[in-house]
Amino acid sequence: MDIHEYQAKEVLSNFGVTVPPGALAYSPEQAAYRARELGGDKWIVKAQVHAGGRGKAGGVKLCNSEAEIYEATENLFGKKLVTHQTGPEGKGIYRVYVEGAVPIAREIYLGFVLDRSSQRVMIVASSEGGMEIEEISAERPESIVRSTVEPAVGLQDFQAREIAFKLGIEPAMTQQMVRTLKGCYQAFSELDATMVEINPLVVTSDNRVIALDAKMTFDDNALFRHPQIAELRDKSQEDPRESRAADRGLSYVGLEGNIGCIVNGAGLAMATMDTIKLAGGEPANFLDIGGGATPERVAKAFRLVMSDSNVQAVLVNIFAGINRCDWVAEGVVQALREVEVDVPVVVRLAGTNVEEGQKILAQSGLPLIRATSLMEAAERAVGAWKNDLDQNTRVRAVK
């Protein structure tokens, strides 16, 4: 789960990370009022969306007066901000963050991520801040500093000082950098984050180390331990399909294809998507309905898959281990009678009581396409989609 910049700054400030004074606004009038509250003569107005690259996309504005703030926010509210991370559909702007400008002497990149190879938290930093880490890696690879943290002892002062020295932090500001690094690590580990990124972390002309931007991502599976973090979720920034799935306890990731997948088990779901690609199709989603493929759960999955207008065929691939194929087949039949599905549906069952399951499907009277192997199911799903596409093309041609 991602959170907004202003939320990430509030979280990190509670762990000792210094952030500039700022305030949230939901209208141009409120944004101008926030600037008066903050004081000063220069302010930054930032669109609050879950995406990087906001500055290049016009989502960050430097303003020298309240009139400029009003004009900038009026041009942002209700618009879609399109960045390299949002895709062409963009993300809606419904709130802005007004921040007092700070005198920047230099910019630093700082990130905390999970390194799967070492199974440790990896600190990635660079003296070339203000750019995306991909750009830094490509253009200034020698500037990148990497350090892994031993989980048994956490981030130690000497380790934080070493990172500060490598980044060229002045000795007088080393302690500020140590406090920032340790605060970020503490927030990362205590709140079950999967990413903390400050870009840029700035050194000001008056010798302060300040987090000018902040991003945090959290492990969805650990949110039950952190209700204060779960409350920060903004569904308006999420894929509506994924949001609906999460609310219904389903693991779903929307893709750009046209063959919907309903599968039990994450590994089998990934194998199903690969096989669809191998058969010449494109999966529309990753969907793991879990071990309990009850009729109600299957019906929820069908409703979710069919809410995607791009879906032109559905492949149901269930391996019954703990479950039984006859139970699953009853669930599929009941779901198809409850949910309007006007595209070809291919069902492949394997495992316990598969014969009984196939018999239930055959006797249902529903126009199901049955398959016995994963490859056969994928080929039939792709073939049914192409045949349906050809028929629709011919109908349009006749009209």
Residues designated catalytic: 109, 197
DSSP secondary structure of 67-87: HHHHHHHHHHTTPEE--TTT-
List the beta strands (DSSP E) in 85-204: 91-92, 96-100, 104-115, 120-126, 144-149, 193-204
Residue 303: which H helix or E strand, with range? helix 295-306
- The verdict on whether residue 388 carries a ligand-binding annotation is no
List the beta strands (DSSP E) in 127-184: 144-149
Cα distances (angstroms) measured from residue 316 to each of 189, 216, 228, 233, 248: 38, 35, 37, 31, 19
Nearest one of 349, 354, 345, 355 to 380, comparing CA atoms: 345
- The verdict on whether residue 55 carries a ligand-binding annotation is yes
At a CB cut-off of 8 Å and minimum separation 6, what does 323 contact? 264, 291, 292, 293, 351, 352
Tell me, what amino acid is at 85?
Q
At a CB cut-off of 8 Å and minimum separation 6, what does 89 contact? 80, 82
CA distance 312 to 257: 9
- The verdict on whether residue 213 carries a ligand-binding annotation is yes
- The verdict on whether residue 107 carries a ligand-binding annotation is yes
- The verdict on whether residue 387 carries a ligand-binding annotation is no
Q: Is 383 helix (H, G, I), strand (E, B) or coil?
A: helix
User: Angle CA(230)–CA(193)–CA(198) in degrees, nearest 5?
Assistant: 110
- The verdict on whether residue 99 carries a ligand-binding annotation is yes
Binding site as annotated, residues for Mg(2+):
199, 213
Binding site as annotated, residues:
46, 53-55, 99, 102, 107, 199, 213, 264
Binding site as annotated, residues for substrate:
264
Binding site as annotated, residues for ATP:
46, 53-55, 99, 102, 107
